[in-house]
Amino acid sequence: MISLPSIKTLTAPNPSPMTLSGTNTYILGEKDLIIIDPGPLIESHLKKILEIIQEKEKVKLILLTHHHLDHSEGAEWLSEKTEAPVGAYKNLKLNPNLEWVKLGDQDLLKGDSFTLQVLHTPGHTSDHICLFLTETQALFSGDLILGEGSTTLNPPDGNLKDYMESLYFLKDLNPEVLFPGHGPSGNAGKRIQELIQHRKQRHQEILDCLQKGITEPEEIVQIVYKNLNPSLLGPAVGNVKAHLDTIQHGEKFFK
Ligand SMILES: [Zn+2]
């Protein structure tokens, strides 16, 4: 019988329209722990992680799904306290004084009773990884797939073609449960399908604007984003630019 690894979720107190209820930190395992996304440098949050792990020696690795500060900023603090190295995709730029492990696509990371597979999944950022828990087919999806709504694709680091290819890859992987970087966990297959549909629809709406001669990203946003929260205007413009980039390059990637 496979014993299922323990997964503890701790949400950082940094809620916002971008981070939803806050950044999710995941603590996996019982004896040899792996922490996914320590979150922002908020001492109350980081201290709670230490309380949960009890013995700092148990932490084997601190993983970052990508470089954005709401996921990575607490890594140095936590690495110092636990003496565990930080693992991140090989092109992510970390403080050179930090002990860190450069990860590649498909790398396998062993905990006490579980294996995490590293999946390079660019789109939200070029250094983004998802972590696939092979024993239970659970997917830790970082900011590529959020628990609610859709992620930002701010070019040039954000890229729509990469994002769609990552989604199609994950769809074929067929994970069971989703543990996102923000928002609630849920059915992975359903979320992936929703997001593919959402992007296809958005792409068509933007093509329709272009056909009517509306070409400025700021103008397109006003038409395709209904009831947009004003604080999300910047990210929405970024998303529209990501779509326009692919149209300009004549890239066809919607299956
Ligand atoms: Zn992010």
Q: How far apart are the two ends of the chain, measured CA to CA in Å?
A: 39
User: What mean pLDDT value characterizes the chain?
Assistant: 94
User: Alpha-carbon distance 91 to 147, whole Å?
Assistant: 26
User: Percent of the chain at pLDDT above 70?
Assistant: 98
Q: Which of 16-20, 94-98, 116-120, 191-195 has the lowest mean pLDDT?
A: 94-98
Q: Give the amino acid at 28.
A: L
In a domain, 140, yes or no: yes
From ligand 1's centre to the CA of 247, what distance in Å?
Answer: 24
From ligand 1's centre to the CA of 150, what distance in Å?
Answer: 12
Predicted confidence at residue 3, as pLDDT, reads 58
CATH number of the domain that residue 77 is part of: 3.60.15.10
Contact criterion met (CB below 8 Å) for 137 and 116: no
Q: Which residues constitute the domain of residue 179?
A: 7-188
Cβ-count burial of 95 within 10 angstroms (0-12 exposed, 13-18 middle, 19+ buried)?
exposed
Contact criterion met (CB below 8 Å) for 8 and 34: no
In a domain, 246, yes or no: no
From ligand 1's centre to the CA of 224, what distance in Å?
Answer: 23
> Residue 247 above 50 pLDDT?
yes
Q: Which of 110-114, 115-119, 169-173, 174-178 has the lowest mean pLDDT?
A: 110-114
From ligand 1's centre to the CA of 238, what distance in Å?
Answer: 13
> Residue 111 above 50 pLDDT?
yes
Q: Count of domains in the chain? A: 1
Contact criterion met (CB below 8 Å) for 25 and 39: yes
> Residue 2 above 60 pLDDT?
no
Q: What is the mean pLDDT of residues 1-20?
A: 86
Q: What is the pLDDT of residues 57-75, one digit of tens each?
A: 899 999 999 999 999 999 9
In a domain, 102, yes or no: yes
From ligand 1's centre to the CA of 162, what distance in Å?
Answer: 15
Q: What is the pLDDT of residues 24-49, one digit of tens each?
A: 999 999 999 999 999 999 999 999 99
User: Alpha-carbon distance 143 to 154, whole Å?
Assistant: 13
Predicted confidence at residue 1, as pLDDT, reads 47
Contact criterion met (CB below 8 Å) for 87 and 101: yes
In a domain, 214, yes or no: no
Predicted confidence at residue 249, as pLDDT, reads 86
In a domain, 206, yes or no: no
Q: Tell me if residue 23 falls in helix, strand or coil.
A: strand
Q: Tell me if residue 56 falls in helix, strand or coil.
A: helix
User: Percent of the chain at pLDDT above 90?
Assistant: 86
In a domain, 202, yes or no: no
From ligand 1's centre to the CA of 1, what distance in Å?
Answer: 37
Predicted confidence at residue 252, as pLDDT, reads 76
User: pTM of whole model > 0.75?
Assistant: yes
What lies within 8 Å, CB to CB, of 12 at 6+ separation is 22, 23, 24, 25, 39, 40, 42, 45, 70
In a domain, 230, yes or no: no
From ligand 1's centre to the CA of 3, what distance in Å?
Answer: 32
From ligand 1's centre to the CA of 138, what distance in Å?
Answer: 20
In a domain, 59, yes or no: yes
